[in-house]
Amino acid sequence: MINIAFFIIAALTLGSALAAATNPKLMHAALSFAIAFVGVSTLFFWLGAEFVGLVQIFVYIGAVAVLIVFTILLTRREGEQLRGFNWSGVVVALAVFAGLVWSILKSPSMSILPPEVSPLTVKRIGEVLMSDYVWPLMGVGVLLTVALLGALILAMEDKRE
């Protein structure tokens, strides 16, 4: 049963990712990409990482996918046009995939059973974020604030003229 669920999720994710890479219509490709995000978050849910799955939906569909479709909408003034398929990208992707597979197969931890992990609850994530990872959290906060201020300055009206 568990394997069936995994194969359905994997087929959905890979299929929509493939559609995102090959679809000639840019907007359809972007929307397929959003479906791939849903697939990845389902995978997190299936693995029991509820929080990560929810954040995946929140950030990648609520923000990143909307950002992508808006970028397409606001930058392309001409109608839909066909893209050529870029074969050099396939070579790069295959090389990256081969590298990942090679390093996974070479790693010695494959033969050791993973230690039993307690289920990851929201409470535990909060505690860890506020104790061990408080400085990275602060750093990310400052970075995001700087990005927000930068966006505001870009969008601000110039009063001097």
Partner 1 sequence: MSTGFVDQIFVRLKVWIMHFLPPGHDLIASFVSALLNISGVLIVFLTLFAAMSVLERKILGRMQNRYGPNRVGPFGLLQPVADGIKMLIKEDIVPARADKVVHFLAPIIIAAVAMLTLGIIPYGRNMTPLSIDGGILFFFAIGSTTELAVFMAGWGSNNKFSMLGAMRAIAQMVSYELPLIITTLPVVMIVGSLSPDQIVAAQSKYWFVFTPWGLAAFLLFFTSGLVESNRTPFDVPEGESEIVAGHMTEYSGFKYATFFLAEYFGMFAISGLAVTLFLGGWHAPLSILRFVPSYIWFFGKLSILLFVFVWARGTLPRTRVDQVMNFAWKFMLPMAFTCVVSAAVWHYAGRGFFAWIWSLVIIAGVYMTLSILLDTKKKFAPRVYRFAE
Residues near partner 1 (CB under 8 A) are 1, 27-28, 31, 34, 50-51, 54-55, 57-58, 61-63, 65-66, 69-70, 73, 121-123
Cβ closest to partner 1, residue 48 vs residue 99: 48
Cβ closest to partner 1, residue 79 vs residue 84: 79
As given in the structure block, the two tokens for residue 153 are 């300055």
The distance of closest approach from Cβ of residue 58 to partner 1 in the complex, given in angstroms and rounded to an integer, is 4
Which H helix or E strand runs over 28? helix 26-46
Cβ closest to partner 1, residue 99 vs residue 141: 141
The distance of closest approach from Cβ of residue 25 to partner 1 in the complex, given in angstroms and rounded to an integer, is 8
Cβ closest to partner 1, residue 96 vs residue 128: 128
For every residue of 85-121, DSSP letters joined together read: P-HHHHHHHHHHHHHHHHHHHH-GGGGSPPPPPPP--
86/148 Cα distance (integer angstroms): 35
Q: Strand, coil or helix: what is 79?
A: coil
The distance of closest approach from Cβ of residue 47 to partner 1 in the complex, given in angstroms and rounded to an integer, is 15
The distance of closest approach from Cβ of residue 60 to partner 1 in the complex, given in angstroms and rounded to an integer, is 10
90/93 Cα distance (integer angstroms): 5
